[in-house]
Amino acid sequence: MLYAWNYFQNQLQLIMTSRAFYLLAALVFLLPNGVIALSSPHPEHPRPQFFREKWLNLKIAEKLVSLASTRANFVPGAIWPDNQGVHINAHGGGIIHTNGRYYWFGEYKTGGPEGNTAMVGVSCYSSENLYEWKNEGIVLSVSDDTTSVIRKGCVIERPKVIFNKATGKFIMWFHHELFGQGYCAAMSGIAVADAVNLLGRDFSRGQMARDMTLFVDGDGKAYHIYSSEENSTTQISLLTDDYLSYTGKYVRAFVGRYMEAPALFKHKGKYYFMGSDCTGWAPNAARSAVASSIWGPWKELGNPCRGTAEENEKTFWSQSTYILPVEGKRNAFIFMADRWNPDNPIEGRYIWLAVQFDPAGKPFIRWMDQWNLEESFN
Ligand code: GAL
């Protein structure tokens, strides 16, 4: 019954967030003024009084058209339909921009508690504008072979993809846990592809690493940022030039601070970090920090959320996954986070919010029911 109600709500939300719905509704109000109005109505079947109020009809139609145009909005926490009308399934993800398109890679979740493990793999969606997403399918599949290191039911979390200009390869790193071993293995998986469709994969053991992200600096150097040392310390490791393994150079940041969900971005020459506390799937208060060099020293800036006490305490009921620099816009960053649903992971929602900066240059995040790039970033 609950599922039926959820389904109904989701379908309704889907319709209400589609442009077509508003445009069709606008037509309903325009037709009596236009096409239908040209033919004189049958005297015995006059149009209802309401539709004869041309001025009112035009006003309503105008409002509906403007509502249709505002559909190009991010609606944090809503159902986000892809090009097939299905809620996007790319959790704990990250986005790269290449060849004029954004590619969003994330965990493909399934229903029920088993969906917290990798039953399918890593999905990919592409978009020109960040609002409309095309399902590109599964780019890294788990294996039915029970001897495979990525056998179905293992853990594949927080996949991030970067492009290596020197080798022309797309490289994916992800948090990997072995089948049936909970979160003990704390490994990193690395997958390599010539095109955005991944063709092959390769694994490296590396250091203990759980929640993670990747960051490519302006000089092309790439870093793996991950919760290490039983999550107590964040490590930042410089990758080799081909991005496939570690150089061995790394720094221990936020020692003993138990941070997860790391996300990094660079703004006006400074490095900014956003992350979370460690409370599993349950939301907690976000953290942020700044450094002049990626090697530190990192200075904590506190909780970047600016909402009610409750919202701040729970990061708007979400956990960071990535901070996306918007292509073609200066100083425009999107805080991407997940609102997990561990009872039915496929239902997880996406919380994307504009990163704003206070007069002192400190980044913060405010809740927005809906927003768009044009209004939030000039
Ligand atoms: C969260 C982490 C998720 C997932 C989860 C498992 O803290 O950010 O990626 O690992 O724990 O409980």
Q: What does pLDDT average to over the chain?
A: 88
Is 7 part of a structural domain of the chain? no
Number of domains in the chain: 2
Please tell me the least confidently modeled range out of 25-39, 79-93, 314-328.
25-39
Is 77 part of a structural domain of the chain? no
pLDDT in tens, 209-218: 999 999 999 9
The answer to whether 338 and 347 have CB atoms below 8 angstroms apart is no
Q: Is the pTM of this model over 0.75?
A: yes
pLDDT at 14 over 60: no
pLDDT for res 277: 98
pLDDT in tens, 217-269: 999 999 999 999 999 999 999 999 999 988 989 999 999 999 999 999 999 99
Picking from 68, 157, 87, the residue whose alpha carbon sits closest to that of residue 115 is 157
Is 14 part of a structural domain of the chain? no
pLDDT for res 6: 58
The DSSP symbol for 197 reads: S
How many C-beta atoms surround the C-beta of residue 280 within 10 A? 11
**Cα of 142 to ligand 1 centre, how many Å?**
19
**Which residue do the tokens 């060099």 mark?**
293
Which atom of ligand 1 approaches the CA of 158 most closely? Answer: 9
Strands 169-177 and 155-164: antiparallel
60 and 199 housed in the same domain: no
With H, G, I as helix, E, B as strand and everything else as coil, classify residue 264. strand
342 and 283 housed in the same domain: yes
56 and 162 housed in the same domain: no
pLDDT: which is higher, 378 or 163: 163
Residue of the CA atom closest to atom 7 of ligand 1: 280
Please tell me the least confidently modeled range out of 24-28, 68-72, 81-85.
68-72
188 and 95 housed in the same domain: yes
Is 186 part of a structural domain of the chain? yes
Is 330 part of a structural domain of the chain? yes
62 and 95 housed in the same domain: no
**Which residue do the tokens 């310390």 mark?**
233
116 and 183 housed in the same domain: yes
Percent of the chain with pLDDT over 90: 73
pLDDT at 378 over 80: no
pLDDT: which is higher, 196 or 262: 262
43 and 188 housed in the same domain: no
Cα 170 from chain centroid (whole Å): 19
The whole-angstrom separation of Cα 140 and Cα 109 is 13
269 and 149 housed in the same domain: yes
**Cα of 92 to ligand 1 centre, how many Å?**
9
57 and 99 housed in the same domain: no
Residues at CB less than 6 angstroms from ligand 1: 92, 157-158, 211, 260-261, 278, 280-281, 319
The whole-angstrom separation of Cα 259 and Cα 233 is 7
Of 160, 228, 234, 260, the residue with max ligand 1 atoms within 8 A of its CB, to mutate for a pocket test, comes to 260
Picking from 283, 243, 291, 238, the residue whose alpha carbon sits closest to that of residue 260 is 283
Is 288 part of a structural domain of the chain? yes
Residue 127 pLDDT class (50, 70, 90 cuts) = very high
Which atom of ligand 1 approaches the CA of 260 most closely? Answer: 8
pLDDT in tens, 54-68: 677 777 777 777 666
pLDDT for res 199: 31
169 and 35 housed in the same domain: no
Is 351 part of a structural domain of the chain? yes
139 and 34 housed in the same domain: no
Residue 304 pLDDT class (50, 70, 90 cuts) = very high
Domain containing 104 equals 91-376
Residue of the CA atom closest to atom 2 of ligand 1: 280
234 and 337 housed in the same domain: yes
pLDDT at 130 over 80: yes
Which atom of ligand 1 approaches the CA of 92 most closely? Answer: 9
Cα dist. 267→96, 157, 325 in Å? 17, 27, 9
Is 315 part of a structural domain of the chain? yes
Picking from 299, 307, 274, the residue whose alpha carbon sits closest to that of residue 288 is 274
